[in-house]
Structure 1
């Protein structure tokens, strides 16, 4: 009888120990990886657990995890679609573990507390009152159903009919400040230029913030008509010089600007390219993709497989311009499945059906298909206005050694005698002073835009106008 009681007591202790262990994992946990905050909500579910994750700086949505299990004191959370895995152990009220995404991994500690948004220091962000005029404006694009685009025009205080620059944002939906990770580079640029006697018009992309329209099925050609509408709007004003309207394009904006200039050569007085592409979309993307995988710590074999798959996908996109998006998506899924099945298990296992679906959906998008096949050369060869082309030496998204020679060659064919092409040492794709150039640094760097580069831009414009 004594033995039976001891066993029963041991079972009760074990039950409550497991229950307390489960309850210890339950709740809202906050951590960060490479400066990026993550929130995990862990909930008991029957005999197991459910979990969801949020990256609050990137989205307000929570994503349901595929599994959350506790075994031998370790919790394992898996999100197959993004190849995310977190394994952690309770220690002193915290979960200490390792966060893995794809081939890369890093330590991450979770604390049982609600996420508190901390706005990082952005010392360059200008604050009112401003020593220049600030005007909210709205203009229409007649080539896009007369959608209204909302923006801000900054005017130097004591300059009559100043030159004016139209800011053109990079890829994806962007507001008038091109805001990213609490950085507002277009606001910083506009502030600097206005103080140097140069007016600036920046606007919310179509379908973003206060602008009408949608980005669905829109390509760079469509966005070029938005810029043309901005030019037409400025030409109606009597407080700027219509002979001194220029374009400043960042990333994809540096691709859109030559499209506008080629179609309206007499309307554009100057062009500043900030990390704009000088080669085809495919030639921009493949080195960018390789660099991204290498930054994640992938082995040479994993990098080789990734590039083999991506090259096959981009080639398929280029060779099927008349296929529907669904047909292209199906073809991409087949490429990934075939290549992954033929690869060693330790390499091919990355390419799950969920992963393949995400890649196929993104790469079969109308904008992406246009970008892959886009060749900027015919447009760049028609740019005869003064050009300032800048890239950061640590830019791995639009790699300068690949893109700037293409620009130089095209401008030479245009017989353009006023071209300045410069690689800015130590700067990344956002023109921040960086260490590696990796996108993971964007949020952690306090600087929004290199001050010396701001001076280069304003001096270059003022020397000509």
Structure 2
């Protein structure tokens, strides 16, 4: 049974949006370090399904205050994520950061950001415009655009499904046409006609099944978001975590892109990059089918945070 600090429900504003979340503040002499956890794509709540709670408990037990929240339009939060941009979601993360920094028992200068998957793009955007962060962590965050990442994921799904060369080529060609249609401002009806005209494609069905008009518009707005300029503008250390067997993210290319951003001559001197790849781990950095995190994953988080932000203030 957990014996550490218990989370409490909180709300905080960002303009006209009210965000609801869970806050855990451990009792630490001199105040606790802190982290805002930002979930992945789709209707992610404060727990990011069941992924965040064990990470949240571990961090709290290690003396780190943790705030995670429901995305716009999910759980107790108002608004709708499908109407948002990456910039809007980054503003939500920034509001969460400022809220946590102001909590009693939390050291304002020791609060960083953690973003999983799409949340990594979000926290990089939020961090790129601030100079008051001790660090930022991206977890299974592609260094590519969403369009490139989705094509990588679709290619892998086709391969695992045993699609032949012809079906693979047709499906990827259809995907490429949809990306171009999005860039040209095509509406959902035009995109649907393109899918229908391509004929039946079982391999594409799962990708397209949940897309409706509002989701299409969100995906169209997001598809060419490039996280590298945000990574290059960081003024704090960046920990980029990946699972080596992640089927959704081009891991090697993402490490290369974030590494190239870190090597730019105009990179801020504090903005070092640490890349950690956990062999055999998936998109949630788990190495088995029972939801267990990769060995040493949690220890890596707390060790890295502790190195860049001491758990207790120093004299």
- The 5-angstrom pairing of residues 178-189 of structure 1 reads 178-179=48-49, 184-189=50-55
User: Which residue number corresponds to residue 235 of structure 1?
Assistant: 101
| Partner Cα distance (1:389, 1:383) in 2 | 13
Identify which range, 394-403 or 209-218, moves more after superposition: 209-218
| Partner Cα distance (1:192, 1:248) in 2 | 14
Partner residue of 1:303 out of 168, 176, 182: 168
Q: Report if aligned partners of 1:163, 1:244 keep a CA contact under 8 Å in 2.
A: yes
1:369-393 Cα distance to aligned partner (Å, 9 max, x none): 1221211122111112011101111
Pairwise CA distance, 1:429: 0.2
Quick check: which one's strand share is greater? 1
CA spacing shift, 1:356–1:131, aligned 2, 3 Å = closer
| Partner Cα distance (1:159, 1:133) in 2 | 18
Q: Report if aligned partners of 2:142, 2:149 keep a CA contact under 8 Å in 1.
A: yes
1:339-398 Cα distance to aligned partner (Å, 9 max, x none): x3xxxxxxx4437xx999857736962220122121112211111201110111111111
Q: Does 1:432 align with 2:286?
A: yes
Partner residue of 1:258 out of 97, 100, 124: 124
User: Which residue number corresponds to residue 277 of structure 1?
Assistant: 142
The TM-score, its normalising length taken from structure 2, stands at 0.89
CA spacing shift, 1:427–1:159, aligned 2, 3 Å = farther
- CA RMSD in angstroms comes to 2.4
Q: Report if aligned partners of 1:278, 1:377 keep a CA contact under 8 Å in 2.
A: yes
Instruction: Give the match's secondary structure for 2:58.
Output: helix
Pairwise CA distance, 1:247: 0.5
- The 5-angstrom pairing of residues 152-163 of structure 1 reads 152-163=22-33
CA spacing shift, 1:224–1:357, aligned 2, 3 Å = closer
Q: Report if aligned partners of 1:188, 1:448 keep a CA contact under 8 Å in 2.
A: no
User: Which residue number corresponds to residue 43 of structure 2?
Assistant: 173
Q: Does 1:350 align with 2:201?
A: yes
Partner residue of 2:75 out of 201, 206, 209: 209
| Partner Cα distance (1:304, 1:158) in 2 | 57
Pairwise CA distance, 1:246: 0.4
- The 5-angstrom pairing of residues 315-334 of structure 1 reads 315-318=180-183, 320=184, 323=185, 327-334=186-193
User: Considering only CA atoms, is the larger Rg found in Structure 1 or Structure 2?
Assistant: 1
| Partner Cα distance (1:349, 1:190) in 2 | 44
User: Which residue number corresponds to residue 447 of structure 1?
Assistant: 291
Instruction: Give the match's secondary structure for 2:109.
Output: helix
Q: Greater RCO between the two (CA within 8 Å, min separation 6)?
A: 2
1:273-312 Cα distance to aligned partner (Å, 9 max, x none): 1011211222111111111122222122211111111112
Pairwise CA distance, 1:252: 0.3
| Partner Cα distance (1:357, 1:397) in 2 | 16
Instruction: Give the match's secondary structure for 1:259.
Output: helix
| Partner Cα distance (2:188, 2:139) in 1 | 32
CA spacing shift, 1:328–1:240, aligned 2, 3 Å = same
| Partner Cα distance (1:335, 1:258) in 2 | 34
CA spacing shift, 1:249–1:312, aligned 2, 3 Å = same
The TM-score, its normalising length taken from structure 1, stands at 0.61
Q: Report if aligned partners of 2:135, 2:308 keep a CA contact under 8 Å in 1.
A: no
CA spacing shift, 1:170–1:355, aligned 2, 3 Å = closer
| Partner Cα distance (2:233, 2:225) in 1 | 16
| Partner Cα distance (1:291, 1:357) in 2 | 16
Q: Does 1:198 align with 2:64?
A: yes
Instruction: Give the match's secondary structure for 2:234.
Output: coil
User: Which residue number corresponds to residue 222 of structure 1?
Assistant: 88
Q: Report if aligned partners of 1:333, 1:356 keep a CA contact under 8 Å in 2.
A: no
1:95-125 Cα distance to aligned partner (Å, 9 max, x none): xxxxxxxxxxxxxxxxxxxxxxxxxxxxxxx
Instruction: Give the match's secondary structure for 2:122.
Output: helix
Q: Report if aligned partners of 2:4, 2:57 keep a CA contact under 8 Å in 1.
A: no
Q: Report if aligned partners of 1:257, 1:271 keep a CA contact under 8 Å in 2.
A: yes
CA spacing shift, 1:288–1:303, aligned 2, 3 Å = same
